Amino acid sequence: FFAAADGLGSIAIDTTQLNMSVTDPTAWATAMNNLGMVPVGLAGQQLVTDSICVPGFDPSLSMMTGITPINPMIPGMGLVPPPPPTDVSVVKEIIHCKSCTLFPPNPNLPPPSTRERPPGCKTVFVGGLPENATEEIIQEVFEQCGDITAIRKSKKNFCHIRFAEEFMVDKAIYLSGYRMRLGSSTDKKDSGRLHVDFAQARDDFYEWECKQRMLAREERHRRKMEEDRLRPPSPPAIMHYSEHEATLLAEKLKDDSKFSEAITVLLTWIERGEVNRRSANQFYSMVQSANSHVRRLMNEKAAHEQEMEQAKESFKNALTGILTQFEQIVAVFNASTRQKAWDHFSKAQRKNIDIWRKHSEELRNAHSEQLMGIRREEEMEMSDDDSGDNPSKKLRVDDSALAAQAYALKEENDSLRWQLDAYRNEVELLKQEKGQLYRTEESLTKDQQLQFLQQTMQGMQQQLLSIQEELNNKKSELEQAKEEQTHTQAMLKVLQEQLKSAKELAEINGHDESQANEINVLTVALVNQDREKNSEKRSPGLKSEKEALLIGKIT
């Protein structure tokens, strides 16, 4: 019974020593006829495995010697297994107890059905009991599954059995379907087919709920402990203000290592309202000590900025070196693709060299774009610094923008030249292959590719020419802007000198303020006139409006 579960697989059997050979179809049919059952499908079918019973076991020994026979379900031997997996066919055996015998169901029949297992189920329903079965016999059979806490027997051949643990219920469910016979009687009142099923009990559900609540409490406690462990520590308590504490705090404020702690205490005292007429001088000295750290912090910031600039410069230099090496590798590949060396390579070697060359060019272009981005950022930072220092910052911003655009166009021009060289190399390769091969279909497709590449090369050349023209236009605009800037600066200096001389003449001749105002108005009008002349060069469409505004100001 329940053999393979707990490790009694090494026990052998001698079926000749049993009173009734369970492998003998005739004996099995006789037993079933005595119970009033019709045997089904017993033609030589082995119902008991060879590893289940104890060798040399004779049930008549109990009557002859008074020795209790060895029962496969004795406590402590753990013969009652957990429920077997559904995909494995389990062969149930005959179970011999002290007061009864349990015969297994027909293995060809489907397994007995059970209801859905309630949560925390420890109680089973046992139906189909013999009419003469007592609580002692029931306990003798089912106590082998585990500790029984209660048996509630009914008068209608069923009972409820409550176990101490949940896993014991699975062992009891295993007995469902067995035919129970009391002693060796053939009376119908002494036999019955057991039906074991899960039972729903309030006590089981209550204990399950209590256990779930306990697990929830433990989980909450564990989470709280984890949160407390990960929570940052509370800030230290701030001492109350006193003259002694203020003296100690003034010393801490002068120390760089304790400044952050001391400044927090000072802020708390001021927010609490500890400043009064008596302690105002002491607080002023502490605030002054806090202000003395500003210069130190600015020096630290400058040092960190210098370190960052050095790191940027080292990165840029390293990137430049890497880009140089990439250029050398690409030059090696380009030299290898020329006809002097290319003819000596095999077809597979040419293919590998071509793949390596394209990969190196892609990496080279990516690194050059990254380096260009770093240089653009540096130029923008420099232009921002210059625009903040110079009063004529608008013109500088325009100049820097034009210079950045010109540099970007130059870089784009270089990248297009590299692509053009790559296309030329491909055209040369196609020409070489065309000269080596016959005029076949492959040669025709290569001619088409060659024409397509020539067209793309022409398009690239046209694009290159347009970019060069645009670059020349941008350079001319930049030179024109510089000339206008120098002209406006010269005019400004001349007007400033005229203004000074006019003011000196007004002071010498003793004129009143109205004459000085007229001179200022005249100078402003001259400046506006000069600006309008420059604007007329840029926007000739507003010429009449500017002239009208200038005439109105002069009058």
Question: Angle at which helices 347-389 and 393-436 pack, to 10 degrees?
Answer: 170
The helix (run of H) or strand (run of E) holding residue 96 is strand 95-96
Contact 115, 128 (CB under 8 A): no
**What tokens appear for 554 in the block?**
């002069």
**What tokens appear for 366 in the block?**
């990516």
Q: What is the pLDDT of residue 340?
A: 80
Q: What is the pLDDT of residue 207?
A: 92
* pTM listed for this prediction: 0.32
Read off the pLDDT of each residue in 121-133 and give the average, rounded to a whole number.
Answer: 91
**pLDDT category, 216, cuts 50, 70, 90?**
very high
DSSP letters, 458-472, are HHHHHHHHHHHHHHH
3-state secondary structure of 148: strand
Phi, psi (degrees; rounded to nearest 5) at 87: -85, 0
The residue ranking higher by pLDDT, 444 or 315, is 315
**Residue 133, C-beta contacts closer than 8 angstroms, at least 6 positions apart:** 100, 157, 180, 182, 192
Helix ranges (DSSP H) in 231-292: 243-254, 259-272, 280-291
What's the pLDDT tens digit per position in 370-396? 888 888 888 887 776 665 555 554 455
The arrangement of strands across the sheet holding 95-96 comes to: 95-96, 100-103, 179-182, 191-193
Question: Angle at which helices 280-291 and 259-272 pack, to 10 degrees?
Answer: 140
**pLDDT category, 127, cuts 50, 70, 90?**
very high
* Range of 31-35, 182-186, 218-222 with top mean pLDDT: 218-222
**pLDDT category, 508, cuts 50, 70, 90?**
confident
Q: Does residue 174 have a pLDDT over 60?
A: yes
3-state secondary structure of 161: strand
What's the pLDDT tens digit per position in 6-17? 433 333 333 333
**What tokens appear for 7 in the block?**
């490790």
What's the pLDDT tens digit per position in 251-309? 998 888 888 888 999 999 999 888 898 889 989 999 998 998 898 899 999 999 999 98
Candidates 288, 251, 283; CA nearest to 268 is: 283
**Residue 222, C-beta contacts closer than 8 angstroms, at least 6 positions apart:** none
Q: Does residue 313 have a pLDDT over 70?
A: yes
Q: Does residue 57 have a pLDDT over 50?
A: no
Q: What is the pLDDT of residue 343?
A: 84
CB count in 10 Å sphere of residue 289: 19
**Residue 477, C-beta contacts closer than 8 angstroms, at least 6 positions apart:** 402
Q: What is the pLDDT of residue 4?
A: 37
Task: Count Cβ neighbours within 10 Å for each residue of 488-526 and write b for 16 or more, e otherwise.
Answer: beebeeebeeebeebeeebeeeeeeeeeeeebeebeebb
The residue ranking higher by pLDDT, 62 or 311, is 311
Least confident of 436-450, 483-497, 508-522: 508-522
Task: Find the farthest-apart pair of alpha carbons in the chain and give their distance in angstroms, rounded.
Answer: 158
Q: Does residue 452 have a pLDDT over 50?
A: yes
Whole-number mean pLDDT of the chain?
Answer: 77
The residue ranking higher by pLDDT, 423 or 72, is 423
- Nearest 5°: the CA angle 407, 409, 413 is 115
**Residue 484, C-beta contacts closer than 8 angstroms, at least 6 positions apart:** 534, 537
Name the β-bridge partners of 180. Answer: 102, 192
DSSP 166: S
**pLDDT category, 235, cuts 50, 70, 90?**
confident
Q: From the centroid of its chain, how far is CA 422?
A: 42
CATH of region 95-230: 3.30.70.330
DSSP letters, 54-88, are PTT--TTHHHHH-PPPP-TT-TTS--SPPPPPTTS
Task: Count Cβ neighbours within 10 Å for each residue of 116-136 and write b for 16 or more, e otherwise.
Answer: eeeebbbbbbbbbbbeebeee
**pLDDT category, 239, cuts 50, 70, 90?**
confident
| Cα 101 to Cα 19: distance, rounded to the nearest angstrom | 13
| Cα 340 to Cα 353: distance, rounded to the nearest angstrom | 15
Q: How far apart are the first and last CA of the chain?
A: 126
Q: What is the pLDDT of residue 126?
A: 94
What's the pLDDT tens digit per position in 107-117? 888 888 888 99
**What tokens appear for 182 in the block?**
């009391």
Name the β-bridge partners of 151. Answer: 161
| Cα 251 to Cα 262: distance, rounded to the nearest angstrom | 9
Contact 155, 121 (CB under 8 A): no
| Domain boundaries of the chain, sorted by first residue | 95-230, 243-316, 321-379
Q: What is the pLDDT of residue 209?
A: 94
Q: What is the pLDDT of residue 65?
A: 40
**Strand runs labelled E in 360-422:** none
3-state secondary structure of 509: helix
The residue ranking higher by pLDDT, 272 or 235, is 272
What's the pLDDT tens digit per position in 26-40? 544 454 444 444 444
| Cα 211 to Cα 207: distance, rounded to the nearest angstrom | 6
Residue type for position 228: D
**Residue 521, C-beta contacts closer than 8 angstroms, at least 6 positions apart:** 553
428 CB burial (10 A radius; 0-12, 13-18, 19+): middle
